[in-house]
């Protein structure tokens, strides 16, 4: 059996780390976890190009305990421009893992696969992938991690094989595979899964993470993803929203805009300077981060001396 997995994005912050651990255990318990299964990752195994020791330990645990053969294609998140190396090289000494950081063609279960990793230099990558040899052109399948011509990227339309693209998370032409785990807000509501190429079918993965929009004051609906992440709308303040929903994973808090209220309150009072107006405005914005408040205050002070 050949299984394909789109961008995994293993990450150490909650609830993503817990979701990935659950997912890894689910894979280890599946019947297809055996020596005859080839598992192809389409890139971005890690979310960060410099994963934490805990992230590496968890993925090392999974790979070491799995009976499958892995082909890990390098993605853009796997390359560290600072360290000048790929994070997935952490697994280079595992006997059941093959790291693919350079373009190559491999034969797996009698089929040829052209592997095109995300290259560290885009100009070099474009020149390389627009003039590949006959071996790549005639491969049965093309596994790659970059934007192709359908995304206004590198034109690889001359390659004859069926394409499986990573890098683009939402499903579209050449990037039809689902994400194994929801990794960001624009993937909300989409099904998760991995692809059984041998039988041409999606293997569904339980909805471990998803994003939900709620109005401040609403209860969290039941029957959602195992780890729901919420956006809170029309909150009276950031601090009140954090306290009310402190037992939940919060993505964003949208505070009711007080600007209109402040202008209305001042209509019957004596006129104030624009500098004083903005100082009052900053004082009222309890939803702002401290760094944003500091920048605004410094800017207002600079205008006082002009």
- Domains of the chain, residue spans: 2-206, 208-256, 258-306
Report the distance separating Cα 86 and Cα 49, nearest Å.
Answer: 7
Yes or no: say if 217 and 237 are a contact pair by the CB < 8 Å rule.
Answer: no
40-84: pLDDT as tens digits: 999 999 998 889 999 999 999 999 999 999 999 999 998 877 667
Residue-level pLDDT at 264? 36
Query: Nearest CA to 99 among 77, 73, 68, 117?
Result: 73
Residue-level pLDDT at 260? 36
Show the CA angle centred on residue 299, arms to residues 294 and 303, nearest 5°: 145
Residue-level pLDDT at 299? 66
Candidates 3.60.21.10, 3.30.1360.30, 1.10.3720.10, 1.20.120.330; CATH matching 2-206: 3.60.21.10
Taking 70 as the pLDDT cut, the residues of the chain under it are 82-83, 258-306
Residue-level pLDDT at 285? 60
- Residues in the chain, how many? 306
215-232: pLDDT as tens digits: 999 988 788 899 999 999
Yes or no: say if 5 and 39 are a contact pair by the CB < 8 Å rule.
Answer: yes
């Amino acid at each position: 059996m050949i299984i394909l997995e789109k961008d995994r994005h293993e990450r150490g912050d909650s609830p993503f780390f817990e979701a990935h651990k659950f997912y890894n255990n689910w894979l280890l318990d599946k019947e297809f976890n055996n020596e005859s299964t080839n598992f192809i990752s389409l890139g971005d195994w890690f979310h960060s190009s410099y994963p934490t020791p805990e992230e590496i330990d968890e993925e090392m645990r999974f790979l070491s305990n799995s009976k499958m053969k892995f082909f890990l294609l390098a993605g853009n998140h796997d390359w560290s421009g600072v360290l000048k190396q790929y994070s997935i090289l952490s697994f280079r000494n595992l006997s059941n893992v093959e790291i693919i950081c350079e373009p190559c063609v491999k034969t797996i279960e009698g089929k040829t696969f052209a592997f095109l990793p995300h290259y560290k230099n885009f100009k070099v990558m474009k020149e390389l992938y627009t003039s590949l040899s006959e071996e790549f052109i005639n491969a049965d399948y093309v596994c790659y991690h970059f934007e192709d011509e359908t995304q206004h990227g590198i034109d690889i339309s001359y390659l004859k094989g069926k394409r499986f693209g990573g890098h683009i998370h939402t499903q579209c032409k050449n990037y039809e595979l689902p994400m194994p785990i929801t990794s960001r807000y624009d993937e909300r509501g989409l099904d998760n899964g991995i692809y059984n190429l041998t039988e041409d079918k999606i293997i569904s993965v339980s909805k471990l993470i998803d994003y939900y929009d709620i109005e401040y004051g609403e209860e969290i609906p039941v029957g959602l993803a195992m780890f729901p992440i919420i956006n809170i709308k029309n909150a009276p303040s950031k601090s009140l929203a954090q306290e009310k929903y402190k037992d939940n994973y919060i993505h964003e808090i949208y505070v009711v805009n007080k600007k209109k209220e402040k202008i209305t309150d001042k209509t019957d009072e004596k006129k104030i300077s624009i500098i004083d107006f903005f100082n009052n405005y900053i004082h009222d914005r309890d939803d702002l981060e401290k760094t944003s408040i500091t920048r605004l205050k410094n800017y207002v002070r600079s205008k006082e001396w002009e």
